[in-house]
Amino acid sequence: MFEKHDLFKLVSVSFVQQVYDVTKFLEDHPGGDEVLLSATGKDATDDFEDVGHSDSARDMMDQYYVGEIDISTIPKKTTYKPPNQPHYNQDKTSEFIIKLLQFLVPLAILCLAVGIHHYTKSS
Ligand code: HEM
């Protein structure tokens, strides 16, 4: 039988890695939740080994074991693509006409008022 330590080496050759769901362990992890969160979604073998976890820590891992994953199937980099948004009011013509009317209508009213005033005054 391989020890867990050896298993990590073996799996890195075959591109198969063990997956651990540490969600329920976040609050109880003696090293804190931040280190765990920073190690999620990726190969955390080096992070785990660098700390020099004790044998009891390695035994605890079994509780959080989920299964195996072939890391060659995981895309190297995921880029965020925003969902296709419908392009509202692509035709700018109506927008332009509204702006023109907003300017012309008050001008026409003003001209009309001045005209009426002028006409009534002179007559
Ligand atoms: C299921 C996975 C993990 C388990 C069960 C676990 C368990 C433990 C335990 C029991 C300790 C107390 C010290 C010991 O007994 O060795 C510990 C400490 C620690 N762990 Fe983890 N750990 C896990 C994953 C990780 C990962 C992935 C990291 C790094 C990203 C990490 C970083 C640390 C750190 C920094 C400490 C504190 C060491 C110290 O203060 O001496 N652990 N962990």
- According to the model, what pLDDT value does residue 76 have? 66
Q: Which atom of ligand 1 is nearest to the CA of 64?
A: 1
- Which residues form the pocket of ligand 1, taking CB atoms under 6 Å from any ligand atom? 20, 22, 29-31, 35-36, 39, 44, 47-48, 51, 53-54, 56-57, 60-61, 64
- DSSP-derived letter for residue 69 is E
So where are the chain's domains?
A: 4-73, 90-123
**Residues 66-96 pLDDT 10s:** 888 887 776 666 677 778 877 666 678 888 9
- DSSP-derived letter for residue 97 is H
How many Å lie between the centroid of ligand 1 and the Cα of residue 77? 27
The domain covering 4-73 belongs, at the CATH homologous superfamily level, to Cytochrome b5-like heme/steroid binding domain (3.10.120.10)
106 falls in which pLDDT band (50, 70, 90)?
A: very high
- According to the model, what pLDDT value does residue 77 have? 64
Residue nearest to atom 24 of ligand 1 (CA): 48
- DSSP-derived letter for residue 1 is -
How many Å lie between the centroid of ligand 1 and the Cα of residue 14? 25
**Residues 12-61 pLDDT 10s:** 445 778 888 889 999 999 999 998 888 887 888 888 999 999 999 999 99
Ramachandran sector of residue 83 (left: φ over 0; alpha: ψ -120 to 50; beta: rest): beta
